[in-house]
Chain A
Amino acid sequence: MPIPTPFHERTQPLCTSYRWKDWAGYCAVCSFDTSHEREYFAFRESAGLLDATPLYKYEVSGPDAAALLGRMMVRDVTKLKVGRVAYSCWCDDDGKVIDDGTVSRLAADHFRVTAADPTLHWLQALSRGLDVELEDSSARLAALALQGPTSRAILRDAGIDEIDSLKFFGVTRGTIRGIPVWISRTGYTGDLGYEVWVEREAAVDVWDALMAAGGRHGIEPAGLDALDVARIEAGFVLLGVDYFSSQKVVLESRKSTPLELGFGWMVDLERGNFIGRDAIAAEQKRGSIWQLVGLEVSWVELEQLYASFNLPPSLPATARRDALPVYDEAGHQVGQATSHTWSPLLKKYLALASVRRGFEAKGTKLQIEHTVEYERRKVTATVAPIPFFDPERKRKP
């Protein structure tokens, strides 16, 4: 049974919809109201405050901390400067992705790793013979994601003087109402946004401080349903939905590589060895079998399809994770869409999909399954670049 997070006493009375779900063993809000829509628009127009405590967090410290993570991560995090954050995935020896997360360099010999799945065993396995100290800080640290265009003004009003000098993917210490916190300019919405890390005992005070400072900036508590729409617009893959950890799957075909997931930009084969390097190098020569792409589903065809049933178009109100087959124009299945949603902002039906090699080029016309009145039909879906939504304010100084 899931347990409450440190913010539960605040989120529980606000969650008038009683819509909760299990996130890594914690009770997490799906949406506070019956519809997640206001929370979604808060992410995009003002600011949404989301309890991100269930993320797994690990402290890696000691003289060999950089060496350990340099070996584990696909991306070269040894060169990461203090006060910077890197997004990376990590692989097994076969170059198959285990998980993805952020690596923050809090001090020269102190890193914090976030992960979607429990990762202590993997860190421990890699730490043998190294002078490092590992701590699973998942329960000790509470986390809040404050995401949206007014998030910076809220943190400024909450007394974080460092906020205006904090660059995209930067991390800094600060205090809110005298409580020490870590603030990173990171998030899962693809918008201007921050994540605040605090000891669990002080968690509620930080929530209260942010809600108070956010009152004049349109802050709204937000849940996972709103986040799911935003992260698809931002083109972020989700472990267990868009790909699966190589340590958990039974079938080899279910595993994914960094190149297949669009993480190729993280890979530097010239640097020293890291786990999965040789396999990735071989794949680079050979070519990948799959490619993660964005799809834009033709709204005109959806309208026509529904009209043929004498119905107005109706799509699920929330982001969906039921995988849909994707076909080429000849009708052969060439992949699957793993996340899909209507984007209220872009006025498009978007999907993240894995397609076979040869079908990944921008503008390629594919077909996606769509069910109307129990009948399975197909509509055109065009390969589009991700992120679908990439506002300037996200990285603006």
Chain B
Amino acid sequence: MSDLRGGRYDAIVVGAGHNGLVCAAYLAKAGRKVLVLERRHQVGGATTTEEIHPGFKFSCCSYVVSLLRPWIIRDLELPRHGYEVLPLEATLTPFPDGRYLLRDSDPERTRRSIAQFSPRDAEVYKRFGQQMAELGRLIKPLIDQPAPDPLSRDPRELLRIARLGKQIRGEGDAWLFANVKMMTMSAVDFLSEWFECEQLIAPMAISGIIGTFLGIRSPGTAYVLLHHYMGEIDGSFRAWGLPKGGTGAIAQAIASSARALGVEIRTEAPVAHLLMQNGRAAGVVLANGDEIRARAVISGLDPHRTFLHLVGEEHLDPEIAQQVRRFKMRGSSGKVNLALDALPELTCRPDYGPHLQGGITIAPSIDYLERAYDDAKYGAFSRQPFMDVLIPSLTDPTVAPPGKHVMSIFVQYAPYHLKEGAADWPNQREAFGDAVIDTLSEYMPNLKSLILHRQVLTPWDLEQIYGLTEGNIFHGELSLEQLAFLRPMAGWSRYRTPVRNLWMCASGTHPGGGIMGVPGALCAQAMLGKRAV
């Protein structure tokens, strides 16, 4: 059948990011012939681990895993293909005064640590977690399904929405009020309703801004906090994990599973543009001029790249093109990866111990974070940024030579649009790296003397190397107006696109970014359901 209707392949996936691979694997599982084309020399996209310095493996972009869905792990038999996740329990927040806050899996230890700042908050903390889990319970199933679409006229969809509405009413008024509040409040305001000490509020609030161009006092950021309470690794055991061998190993595991299911994956095969015929996608044209035909093309790229580059505006309805351009990318973060000669010493707690095996969050106060945002608002990187620091080699010795370490530093804010223009990033890259290391050295004085190699990735680099438009790590900001049935645009939230035979499977679609795999899996399911392949 495929031979008559579009060449050798039922589907071509453009981009071997983790979602593209998941989508390909599900289609192959259903018996379809699938080709995945990747521009770079290796699969994974931003789910990548690379030996940037000999012996040191950096998870250059994404660095932890939380929401990779258990059903996808099972369906694709990922543990058999090398998927392993190590626990990542603790969050350490050092303060300039030499004190620190340590939150880990031991509730009593956590309570004591918070109590040094506020005994009251220490008691409330656990209740807050319960409340958030309660709020998240209804939301959570939504990330495993296509977004409910109120624009739909399909009776089945309306029934589904009605059922959801009934469920929400069943939860009672308090639940509804809390949710409406979350959707409209800022992270700081919402947390301040619960807590009094900012040593706790500041590090908690950052979950509301990661990957967005918003500040912790910006409305709408409270909602993103909820995502923090929905993570699951082993069923519901915990929120965050460290993939063994780096996040790239996840992509390798998915690719291995996909290949075992019959998917063909070609690396170093850049796609120039779609092959358009009568306004429909008929395949792709590679950079070398080769044409490959298929019944359907699936884009693993972000919405901007998909429509404005892959399809090309000449094939797009101007209204649609306008909508795509309105979809906010505006990357706000960078990444600094270090190869270290030894373990750095924290001023607040110099001993070696489990507290180092989690994340180290540089978010000492609300004002500190808001000032970091101020820099970004006016087109500069934060002189004193928020940082999420991780030393994965402590838990997973395979990523560094014995006794040596890799350090992953997620940095926000680093706005793509500098006031000198995005193209000025190469001139400011090292200054940005210096600001990060200088700030971190205030907490780890011997850090500089241990650095064997430094990799600085600005949003501009993320765009150049990984094809993330404007360096947005989530393929488009995870803000309320760009989520659910509005992702990537109203009316097109079901992985289908305005271009016939073109589908989207990556983080620019519901439920969004992070190593989750859901967009890829739901796209495949939607295509099979509509008999598109």
Name A's B-contacting residues (CB within 8 A): 33-35, 37-38, 41, 45-46, 149-150, 153, 215-218, 299-300, 302-303, 312-315, 317, 342, 344-348
Contacts and interface: CB of A to CB of B under 8 A. Distances in A.
A303 B402 contact: no
A302 B234 CA distance: 12
Nearest to B84: A345
Contact of B397 (A38, A150, A313): A150
A153 B397 CA distance: 12
Interface string B61-75: 000000000100110
B403 A215 contact: yes
Contacts of A38: 87, 354, 357, 395
A314 B106 contact: no
B105 A34 contact: yes
Nearest to A150: B397
B236 interface: yes
Contacts of A317: 237
B344 to A, nearest CB: 15
B296 interface: no
B106 A303 contact: no
Contacts of B109: 34
A163 to B, nearest CB: 15
A41 B403 contact: no
Nearest to A389: B79
Interchain residue pairs A-B with the least CB separation, the first 5: A216-B403, A312-B236, A313-B235, A216-B402, A34-B106
Given A34-B109, A346-B79, A347-B73, A313 B236 contact: yes
A73 B110 CA distance: 52
Contact of A344 (B70, B105, B234, B357): B234
B244 interface: yes
B396 interface: yes
A217 B397 contact: yes
A348 B234 CA distance: 9
B406 to A, nearest CB: 13
Contacts of B87: 37-38, 41, 344
A313 B233 CA distance: 12
A348 B397 CA distance: 24
Nearest to A214: B402
Interface string B365-401: 0000000000000000000000000000011111000
Contacts of A153: 402
Contacts of A300: 74
Interface of B: 70, 73-74, 79, 84-87, 89, 105-106, 108-109, 232, 234-237, 244, 354, 357, 394-398, 402-404
Contacts of B394: 218
Nearest to B133: A312
Contact of A314 (B73, B108, B235, B354): B235
A45 B395 contact: yes
Contacts of B73: 347
B509 to A, nearest CB: 25
Contacts of A215: 403
B345 to A, nearest CB: 14
A194 to B, nearest CB: 17
Contacts of A35: 89, 105-106
B79 A345 contact: yes
6 contacts: A33-B106, A45-B396, A218-B395, A299-B74, A312-B236, A345-B79
Nearest to B357: A38
Given A45-B244, A45-B395, A299 B70 contact: yes
Given A41-B87, A41-B395, 8 more contacts: A33-B354, A149-B397, A216-B402, A299-B74, A312-B232, A314-B235, A317-B237, A342-B234
Contacts of A149: 397
Contacts of B86: 41, 45
A35 B73 CA distance: 25
Contacts of A348: 79
A344 B357 CA distance: 18
A346 B234 CA distance: 10
Given A45-B396, A346-B79, A347-B79, A217 B74 contact: no
A41 B244 CA distance: 11
Contacts of A303: 70, 235
Contacts of B108: 34
Contacts of A34: 105-106, 108-109
Contact of B236 (A314, A344, A345): A314
A347 B71 CA distance: 11
A344 B106 CA distance: 19
A397 B209 CA distance: 50
A34 B89 CA distance: 12
Contacts of A46: 397
